[in-house]
Structure 1
Amino acid sequence: MLEYEFEEVACDEGGGGWSPFGGFGMETVAHQEIIRRRAEEGWQYVGFIPKRQRAGGFLETIDLVFQRQRPET
């Protein structure tokens, strides 16, 4: 059976924000560090979910989604 975990990443550092309709003004590398760390722990990155979004469509935070096979007990 698979288990899932979620890790929040801020997308609004620097005030620009990111929009799924054509982002501007911001670049984050925090997600790369998180994905690498999780991979070392046996987790696989499977996607992201917008968590908090401004009225203009700009994402403020996302949840990175990770899965792995649940250890047999």
Structure 2
Amino acid sequence: MYEYKYVDLLSEGVSASRFEEHRAIIDKYAAQGWRYVGYLPTKISMGGVLCNIDLIFERKAEERD
């Protein structure tokens, strides 16, 4: 079984989305044993620009008896 963590990331800029801190966040969670598995758009502007995304991480869950 796996556990998942979702990290909300806001875009920078107005006319085009830019996600500045994604690499640092991925490195931070990788150092904690999480594996980056993808992203999910959580807010898209009327013009189709990504405003928010969730970075998705997973790791094996500790087995409980």
Place the TM-score, normalised by the shorter chain, in its bin.
0.7 to 0.9
SS in 1 for 2:16: coil
CA contact (8 A) 1:17 1:60 kept: no
Which ranges in structure 2 are unaligned for 5 or more consecutive residues? none
Normalising by structure 2, what TM-score?
0.88
SS in 1 for 2:15: coil
SS in 2 for 1:7: strand
Letter in 2 for 1:17: A
Deviation, 1:55, is 1.1
How big is the alpha-carbon RMSD for the aligned residues of Structure 1 and Structure 2? 1.2
Deviation, 1:14, is 2.4
CA contact (8 A) 2:6 2:54 kept: yes
Whether 1:34 and 2:25 are equivalent positions in the alignment is: yes
Mapped to 2, the partners of 1:10 and 1:28 lie a distance apart of: 7
Which ranges in structure 1 are unaligned for 5 or more consecutive residues? 19-26
Partner of 1:4: 4
SS in 1 for 2:14: coil
- Residues matched between the structures, number: 64
Partner of 2:40: 49
SS in 2 for 1:14: coil
Following superposition, which runs of at least 4 residues in structure 1 exceed 3 angstroms of deviation?
none
Normalising by structure 1, what TM-score?
0.79
Name the structure with the higher strand share: 2
Partner of 2:53: 62
